């Protein structure tokens, strides 16, 4: 008889094959010297910043039991081996983000989604008990197991000045241009954003389920690692909201990943092709703009 629990990545029954996975890998815990640091994965309500869920652990005891031994000792262990030298370089100097190869970008993208997924499934962000929870979809985890990252997911990196060795955050907040097509509630409920900060290095992950929308970023602030949907870089932030959490830099990094309607972008890009048409018998202020 099965255990009733399956691995979040491969979907196989974990009878006798359960692993204890460190959500922050042990090599990174030691590299950051945070083994005894308290960490409290939290979920905040998008509009008010109100805390709706929190679980507290020391980093060394921040464990997941939802991964099978085969995944943990197989592809996940290999991914850690490939990621370690890249992350050490990036933590030491965020300028290295600009020089990553395509293979290194894919490696970091897979590691970011893997780490976010395990964190998501053990904390409030992935717990259906909480109304603001945003579980990372099973199909995204299956894609990781198969060696890739879903095309519709965005993974980015960035740098900032920080004296904190380690921060995590999952957000439910999305911003879009004032004149653009508003986001639908059902789409927002299927979305997620997750951010990590390791000293001065930030890694961000975002998913918006509606394929009509592209991702927007502030130009020069983000280094895209992965996105099959397309990224539009804009020259200034859409909003300058006051921070609602105790991690304002990480919060701002995630807040300024936007979902922008492709239709709105196409109209904006082709505005020079529009002309004013005067309708006979109407006052001047009734002129209409047509494509």
pLDDT at 234: 84
pLDDT at 207: 96
pLDDT at 120: 83
DSSP state for residue 133 in the 8-state scheme: -
pLDDT at 2: 40
pLDDT at 126: 66
166: which residues sit within 8 A by CB, 6+ positions away?
24, 32, 34, 37, 39, 59, 197, 198
**Cα separation of 240 and 36, whole Å?**
35
**Cα separation of 80 and 23, whole Å?**
12
**Cα separation of 207 and 106, whole Å?**
16
pLDDT at 136: 92
pLDDT at 241: 64
For the chain, residues with pLDDT lower than 50 are 1-3, 276-277, 282-291
Cβ–Cβ under 8 Å, residues 148 and 231: no
pTM: 0.82
């Amino acid at each position: 008889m099965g255990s009733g629990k399956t691995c979040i990545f491969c979907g196989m029954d974990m009878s006798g094959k359960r692993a204890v996975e460190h959500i922050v890998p042990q090599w990174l815990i030691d590299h950051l010297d945070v083994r005894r640091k308290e960490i409290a994965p939290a979920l905040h309500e998008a509009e008010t910043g109100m805390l709706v869920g929190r679980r507290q652990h020391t980093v060394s005891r921040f464990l997941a039991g939802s991964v099978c031994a085969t995944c943990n000792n197989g592809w996940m262990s290999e991914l850690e081996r490939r990621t370690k030298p890249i992350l050490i370089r990036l933590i030491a100097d965020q300028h290295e983000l600009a020089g990553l190869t395509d293979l290194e970008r894919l490696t970091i993208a897979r590691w970011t989604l893997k780490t976010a997924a395990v964190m998501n499934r053990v904390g409030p962000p992935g717990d259906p008990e909480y109304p603001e929870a945003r579980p990372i979809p099973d199909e995204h985890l299956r894609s990781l197991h198969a060696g890739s990252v879903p095309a519709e997911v965005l993974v980015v990196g960035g740098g900032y000045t920080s004296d904190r060795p380690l921060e995590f955050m999952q957000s439910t907040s999305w911003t879009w241009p004032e004149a653009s097509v508003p986001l639908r509630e059902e789409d927002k409920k299927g979305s997620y954003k997750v951010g990590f900060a390791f000293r001065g290095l930030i890694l961000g992950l975002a998913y918006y389920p509606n394929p009509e929308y592209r991702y927007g970023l502030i130009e020069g602030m983000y280094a895209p690692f992965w996105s099959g949907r397309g990224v539009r870089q804009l020259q200034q932030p859409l909003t300058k909201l006051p921070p609602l959490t105790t991690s304002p830099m990480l919060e701002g990094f995630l807040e300024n990943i936007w979902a922008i309607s492709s239709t709105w972008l196409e109209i904006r890009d082709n505005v020079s092709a529009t002309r004013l048409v005067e309708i006979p018998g109407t006052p001047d202020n009734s002129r209409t703009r047509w494509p």
